[in-house]
Amino acid sequence: MTVLHLADETETADLAAFLSRLLHYDRSAAVRLQAAGTALAVFGWPPSFEVLAVRTARLAKPYEDGLDVTLDVTVSAGELLESVDEAGATAAVPAAVTGPPWAGVLPPRGGWRPEPGLPGAESLRALVAAAVAEFRSRTQELDAGQRTRTELDRIGREIWSRTVGRTPLPVRAVHAAQSLGFLRPPPPSGAGEEDLVLFSSGAWLRLRSPYGSVAVRRVGTGSLGVSVSGR
């Protein structure tokens, strides 16, 4: 069995937290694992946000036997979480599963350039809070006969498809980043705020934070519409 040895307990706890958040939105979630050397990337797709997300982690060594060079496999997020040993800083890789469509659609590895116009982290958190409040207010105002799934989805799409600041990034990508733990309040020192950056590469946009990245494909460039790259 392939065993991942993470760099320390903090890396292991962060991985477990990311998997738990994915499972909160999809109890049958799958994740795609990619590892080379001592770098691990875990890709997931929380359906509530229609984005792919990735959390990266440092490995203490590649694998249990030290012979494998790379890893690229799609597995059950729940089974991977069950195998995580935070005290021992390890995780056993479960058996592979048939990958969902999103698992085969990842953004390019290179060619990313910074995009201007992204508000600061505090403004982004306020933007998400305002969007959530607006959705609740507008849906609560609906009569019982109007409160259908179709109408709720229509209001949600209208709000979450709006763009952020002077960028083409949809608000739903920022909402996903916050909900997945990528857009955290800064520590007392304020360190990390400057690391929140928006990038583009061809059809893709990527919001990167110190804790993970969410990338979306620009409207009109494909049916899936979303993808993710590492932090």
Over residues 119-132, the pLDDT tens digits come to 999 999 999 999 99
Nearest to 129 by CA among 58, 178, 70: 178
Nearest to 231 by CA among 202, 211, 205: 211
Is the predicted pLDDT of residue 100 greater than 60, yes or no? yes
Residues 69 and 59 sit within 8 Å (Cβ to Cβ): no
Is the predicted pLDDT of residue 108 greater than 90, yes or no? no
Task: Give per-residue pLDDT as tens, 204-216.
Answer: 899 999 899 998 8
Residue type, 175: H
For the ranges 24-28, 149-153, 186-190, the lowest mean pLDDT is seen at 186-190
Is the predicted pLDDT of residue 221 greater than 60, yes or no? no
| pLDDT, mean over the chain | 87
Residue type, 203: A
Task: Give per-residue pLDDT as tens, 60-69.
Answer: 987 665 556 7
Strand partners, 70: 36
Per-residue pLDDT at 51? 87
Architecture of domain 3-100: Roll (3.10)
Per-residue pLDDT at 215? 83
Task: Please give the Cα distance from 184 to 12 (Å, whole number).
Answer: 18
Look at phi and psi of residue 37 and say left if phi exceeds 0, alpha if psi is from -120 to 50, else beta. left
Task: Please give the Cα distance from 225 to 231 (Å, whole number).
Answer: 20
For 67, counting Cβ atoms within 10 Å of its Cβ (0-12 exposed, 13-18 middle, 19+ buried), the class is exposed
Residue 182 is given by DSSP the state S
Domains of the chain: which residue ranges? Answer: 3-100, 113-227
Crossing angle of the two packed helices 149-160 and 121-140, in degrees rounded to 10 = 160
Report how far apart the first and last C-alpha atoms of the chain are (Å, whole number): 28
Q: How far is CA 228 from CA 91, 106, 169, in A?
A: 23, 6, 13
Angle among Cα 26, 98, 32 to the nearest 5 degrees reads 65
Is the predicted pLDDT of residue 224 greater than 80, yes or no? no
Residues 39 and 58 sit within 8 Å (Cβ to Cβ): yes
Q: What is the mean pLDDT of residues 160-173?
A: 94
Q: What is the mean pLDDT of residues 93-114?
A: 91
Between 176 and 225, where is the model more confident? 176
